[in-house]
Structure 1
Amino acid sequence: MNHIAKSWKVLLVTAALTLPSLAFAAEPAMMKGGMMVDQKGMTLYTFDKDKDGKSMCMGECAKNWPPMMAPMDAKPMGEWKPIKRDDGTMQWTYDGKPMYTYKMDSKPGDMKGDGMMKMWHVIGEHK
């Protein structure tokens, strides 16, 4: 095999291994089983106390309901937009609503936080 053919083979194998992960990383979350989940498959929730795209879940609340963090340089992608939290970190919002997971959800598909305190809600069409 000549040098050019070897180079193309290496390029194609690299692209095949890299492109699927890049495509997945481009989306902060996805719909799965009728609900929105993060990249680890964990259920995403909204909090009724959040207003005007601002997270009201801080301190102990954020320990129980970890915010769906965004990179500091995150850019809006359609309905997904990053917001700055009071502590200076970035969090993803969807359609203007900050997104969270729930610490008691131990595996993908768990929805233990849905309806909690009548303020926490799963995002999706599971109902």
Structure 2
Amino acid sequence: MKRLSSAMSVMGVVVLGLSGLTACGGGDGYGSSSSSSSGSSSAPASSQAAGATKLATADVGDLGKIVVDGNGRTVYVFDKDSAGKSNCEGGCLDKWPVVAAGDGTPQLDGVDASLVSTVTRSDGTKQLALNGLPLYLFASDSKSGEAKGQAVGGVWWVVGADGKKITTQPGDSGDGNGY
């Protein structure tokens, strides 16, 4: 019995170690991931893990009135997505966590309900979408009113109150390594 218990402890350590390695799977941030990653990620799913998600609008810098989450964090769309399908997987989700659909109907303030929908991701989770395009946060936006992800890689954009992406280039372009 002691030998079995010891063997199970070793197996547990091995399994935990391997799962930690696969969660850190690489990728170019555009959704193609290393062969060890299968679309699952340990990235945070949303700024609000449970309950109804909230979308609102706020004036942010020279971008005008844009869509933000319930914590006032800017939301983005990704040019490599298509209507109804997210292509940000693996390592991409480390920098661009999804806006999870949550439970129930999203709370909306200044956002037209007819524009809001959900997308089912490859792992089966639900992500909020606007005009059919999946919504994301940018991990480097640490507080409300920031839009550091705007135009990153020429493929990430904030969303206007009308549900359309805003392609205004930011005043300072940052390091360009956000994707």
Report the TM-score when normalising by structure 2.
0.52
Task: State how far apart, in whole Å, the 2-side matches of 1:92 and 1:74 are.
Answer: 11
DSSP 3-state at the match of 1:106: coil
**1:116 corresponds to which residue?**
152
Flag as ranges the 4+ runs of structure 1 deviating above 4 A: 72-75
Higher percent of residues as helix: 1
Q: State the Cα deviation string for residues 26-81 of structure 1 (Å, max 9, x = none).
A: 67311111111000100010000001320000111011100100126658x42111
Unaligned runs of 5+ in 2: 1-50, 60-64, 107-112, 169-179
RMSD over aligned CA atoms reads: 2.2
Aligned identity (percent) is: 35
Q: Which has the higher contact order (CA 8 A, sep 6+)?
A: 1
Asked if 1:55 is matched to 2:86, the reply is yes
Alpha-carbon distance, 1:115 to partner: 0.3
**Aligned counterpart, 2:57:** 31
67 and 26 in structure 1: CA distance in 2 versus 1, 3 angstrom threshold: closer
In the other structure, the counterpart of 1:17 is: none
Secondary structure of 2:94 counterpart: helix
* Contact 1:70 1:90 (8 Å CA) reproduced: yes
Instruction: Say if 2:127 and 2:135, in contact at 8 Å, map to a contact too.
Output: yes
Q: How many residues align?
A: 102
Task: Give structure 1 stretches of 5+ with no counterpart.
Answer: 1-24
Distance 1:78 1:28, change over 3 A: farther
